Structure 1
Amino acid sequence: MTSIAELMTHDHRSCDHDFARAETLANKKDWSGASEALETFAAGLEAHFQAEEQDLFPRFEAAAGMTHGPTQVMRGEHVEMRASVEQMRAALASRDLDEFAGEAETLLILMQQHNMKEENILYPMCDMHLAGQRDALVDALAHRLAPEHAA
């Protein structure tokens, strides 16, 4: 039986793989390939955010009675990461490798810190507070995540 933490952590790794592919192609100055890879990454990342913001966080907040805690912090970080992806798109559109690399480094640091907080704190709390609805919730989350990230 898959836990919330296992499912969402697996999806983090899938997003990381997509991100690395976009970076590799940009470094080769394969602009169209990098743009395509960035869009794959962005779609997977947005699907992950939507799964959290539409399903996981509201259920956790209802079960834990906590609306101004870790989920509020995570939503704020999602906003920052979405803005960073937009900057990366703009850098690719203008074929500015230095700008892309700088923004990619910023996003990588944001993602690493964000994922550590989710994987070590929030997801285990979700598994604990949502144990009674875990199977249905894991199914709902899995249907929102990018299909190509399925285990």
Structure 2
Amino acid sequence: MTTISDFLAPDHQRCDNLFAVAEAAAAHGDWDNAAREFSLFHDALLHHFAMEEEVMFPAFEARTGMTQGPTSMMRSEHRQMTDLLNQMADAMARKDSNSFLGDADTLLIIMQQHNMKEEQMLYQMADQALAGELDEVVGRMRALT
């Protein structure tokens, strides 16, 4: 049986790695590579959000009845990060390294704090609350494309 923690925490690392490659390319002014790598990161992060918001959060909320707790905060942080992604995409299109890298710094801080809260609190709570249906929930997250 795969837990939510076992499934989603490595995806954080995958997104972080994609982010680092895109940021490094932009920092070196390699805009073609930066655009390609940023697109991969952008898509991976939005897919991660979708797995949580479309599958895991609703399952957790249905099981616990908590709709204004940690999942609400995580959704709010997802919106913040999505706004930054959009700003970064705009900076990328303009090849504005100062704006891109400034927003990247902000995004990195938010992602690190967000991931820590999910990995150390929410995922463990979800693993416990959804213990009887982990295979089904993880399977539905895997199925999202």
Q: Which letter does structure 2 place at the counterpart of 1:120?
A: Q
Structure 2 match to 1:92: 92
* Shift, 1:143, TM fit: 2.4
Give deviations 1:42-83, integer Å, cap 9, x for gaps: 100011101111100000001011000000000000000000
Structure 2 match to 1:149: none
Moved more, 72-81 or 86-95: 86-95
In 2, are the aligned partners of 1:48 and 1:144 still within 8 Å (CA)?
Answer: no
Q: Within 2, Cα distance between the matches of 1:139 and 1:32?
A: 35
Structure 2 match to 1:58: 58
Q: Within 2, Cα distance between the matches of 1:111 and 1:120?
A: 14
Q: Within 2, Cα distance between the matches of 1:6 and 1:107?
A: 24
* Shift, 1:136, TM fit: 1.2
In 2, are the aligned partners of 1:15 and 1:45 still within 8 Å (CA)?
Answer: yes
Q: Within 2, Cα distance between the matches of 1:50 and 1:38?
A: 18
Q: Within 2, Cα distance between the matches of 1:52 and 1:128?
A: 16
Q: How does 1:28-39 map to 2 (within 5 A)?
A: 28-39=28-39
How many residue pairs get aligned? The number is 145
* Shift, 1:121, TM fit: 0.4
Structure 1 match to 2:73: 73
* Shift, 1:134, TM fit: 0.4
Structure 2 match to 1:148: none
TM-score between both structures, scaled by the size of structure 1:
0.93
Q: Within 2, Cα distance between the matches of 1:25 and 1:68?
A: 39
* Shift, 1:31, TM fit: 0.7
Q: Which letter does structure 2 place at the counterpart of 1:5?
A: S
Q: CA RMSD in A?
A: 0.9
* Shift, 1:36, TM fit: 1.0
Q: How does 1:1-151 map to 2 (within 5 A)?
A: 1-144=1-144
